[in-house]
Amino acid sequence: MRATLMYGAGDVRVENVPDSVVKHPTDALVRITASCVCGSDLHPYGSMKPEDGPARMGHEFIGIVEDTGSQVATVRRGDLVVAPFAISDNTCAFCREGLHTSCAHPQAGFWDGEAEEGGQAEAVRVPLADGTLVRLPVAADSALIPSLLTLSDVFGTGYHAAVAGGVDERTSVTVIGDGAVGLLAVLSAKRLGAERIILMGRHRARTGLGREFGATDVVSARGEEGIEAVRELTGGHGTHVVLEAVGHMPAYEQALGVVRPGGVISRVGVPQYETAPIGFGSLFRHNIRLAGGPAPVRAYIEELMPDILDGTIEPGKVFDATTGLDGVPAGYRNMADRTSLKVLITP
């Protein structure tokens, strides 16, 4: 079968690899009908060392179950399913608490830990299929597929940022980053009742979609100028919640600059740093809390799916380009160059 591999920074290839097959009684084999390139894929795309490759790519996908192991009970051949970016059994103590990204099962983990599997391919072996996969009540060619695909990561991640930050109708919100996760954090904050949502982004097409999703204000400036603009909009105080969807230190520093005393910084952009200001002069002095983390999107799928199915929301609007597998390397390049927001893949 064909699959996407990253050999190093800027070096993405689509190659023939051995077919994925069921290996364990809890596995399912899924023929992929829709997947995508994630903003987090751009981190290794910009920095991976050749000695760390090649790596199979892709952690967001929808597909049709082609085969199952003998112990799989909740999905069967022919089912259309969506997979979260984290593999989990959905039964351990952490999963029952809604923290599927910390599942205690030995086979649990993230897709990048499955060296021979990836979602940017024609097929994939799914460990812990009963816990990981969620059946979709639509056909594989449904117009809702792009929006349902966002349940595998970007919508659930934006929603996790808002939930972890405590967004509700009483909170003002700043979203840092106009990538797909940031835009869906705007949509999530709106869904949770926030009336004031400031989007910090500088790409007009993206911030326009952000306004459609619920942003009340857009600040295009960065750094101190951007911080000052947000503070001017908020009477000098900043917002109750900041949703940081980038992962680089300047975005964290920007979050520190715009959060209100007593507020929350909720990070879902994968941090590209290990140390950050958290002491007296940054967080402690004004009782600012730090929240967020890898989103347990499996916990949110059943909650968010009905609004997609009935047309209340359309998170799939973040996809602005579609390609087959042959176009995946160009899709990475276009997302890295910011000429595409998010690339949908139809193998």
User: Quick one: which H or E segment has residue 290?
Assistant: strand 289-292
Residue 79 pLDDT: 98
How far is the C-alpha of 146 from the C-alpha of 308, rounded, in Å? 10
3-state class of 140 per DSSP?
A: coil
Residue 188 pLDDT: 98
Cis? peptide before 54, omega within 30° of 0: yes
How far is the C-alpha of 189 from the C-alpha of 237, rounded, in Å? 19
Contacts for 334 with CB less than 8 Å, ≥ 6 apart: 321, 340, 343
How far is the C-alpha of 44 from the C-alpha of 38, rounded, in Å? 11
pTM of the model: 0.96
The pair of structure tokens assigned to 9 is 């920074």
How far is the C-alpha of 334 from the C-alpha of 195, rounded, in Å? 34
| Consecutive 10-residue averages of pLDDT for the chain (347 residues) | 98 97 98 96 95 96 98 98 98 98 98 95 98 98 98 98 98 97 98 97 94 98 96 97 96 97 96 94 96 97 98 97 98 96 96
